[in-house]
Amino acid sequence: MLEKPQILADTHFTYAAERFEQSPISLQLTALADKVFPSLALDKHQHWLDFGAGTGALSVPLAAHVKQVTALDTSAAMLAKLTAKNVENITTLEQDVFYGLSDTYAGVISSMALHHVADIPQLLSCMHQCLEDGGQLALIDLYSEDGSFHGDNQAKGVVHLGFDPQQLLEEAAKTGFKHLSCREIFNIEHKNGNSYPVFLLLGRA
């Protein structure tokens, strides 16, 4: 386990925020919402949490389908970019998920943030606790990779080199999530010449 991953991630995103959305990877990930949302049951009464929302790659399109989105992130710089978009039904929440959440949500979604969190069982538990009964879980991240996706993993606060979905599914089931499934939904073409598959894990509280 790397030392102080959260501090390193925060420092990284403070500097990365300015050009984050123009990166070739972020530009590809703008296609994600259209691939993920058909698998969700979205409606205009719901309040969703976007964990590690960043500049709002998912929060912004999600806000068009639901009543309210809370965009949670530890990085003030990333959230400032989202706030500047002035989306009326998005509330930003600058805090670590482990400090506790006071609301309950119809769904929790997260894209490319899990690999920054050391304690995945605890994160799944936080997510389960803040979901309504039957609430939806949608997690998007990289399949296990060799460390070449980020390159300088430690400096970027990366603590997991992607995930084995079977292990994640088992952890989610232990936490109490039901109706679990996981499939590949996307491939990121990296400037290093490699292609990195991305999974969508779905479940219900």
Ligand X SMILES: C[S@@+](CC[C@H](N)C(=O)[O-])C[C@H]1O[C@@H](n2cnc3c(N)ncnc32)[C@H](O)[C@@H]1O
d(CA 50, CA 39): 16
Burial degree of 109 (CB within 10 A; 0-12, 13-18, 19+): buried
Closest residue by Cα to residue 172 from 116, 127, 135: 127
Instruction: List, in sequence order, every residue forming a beta bridge with 200; answer none if it has no partner.
Output: 140, 183
d(CA 123, CA 79): 20
From 113, 126, 138, 202, residue interacting with ligand X (rule: CB under 6 A):
113
Burial degree of 113 (CB within 10 A; 0-12, 13-18, 19+): buried
From 72, 101, 130, 131, residue interacting with ligand X (rule: CB under 6 A):
72
Q: Site for ligand X (CB under 6 A): how many residues? A: 22
**130 lies in the site for ligand X, by CB under 6 A:** no
**111 lies in the site for ligand X, by CB under 6 A:** yes
From 47, 69, 73, 153, residue interacting with ligand X (rule: CB under 6 A):
73
Q: Work out the number of other CB atoms within 10 angstroms of the CB of residue 45.
A: 8
Residues 13-42 that bind ligand X (CB under 6 A): 13, 26, 29
Q: Which stretch binds ligand X (CB under 6 A): 41-49, 82-90, 110-118, 176-184?
A: 110-118
Q: Which stretch binds ligand X (CB under 6 A): 35-43, 113-121, 124-132, 182-190?
A: 113-121
Q: Which stretch binds ligand X (CB under 6 A): 35-43, 70-78, 125-133, 162-170?
A: 70-78
The contact set with ligand X (CB under 6 A) reads 6, 9, 13, 26, 29, 52-54, 57-58, 72-75, 78, 96-97, 111-113, 116-117
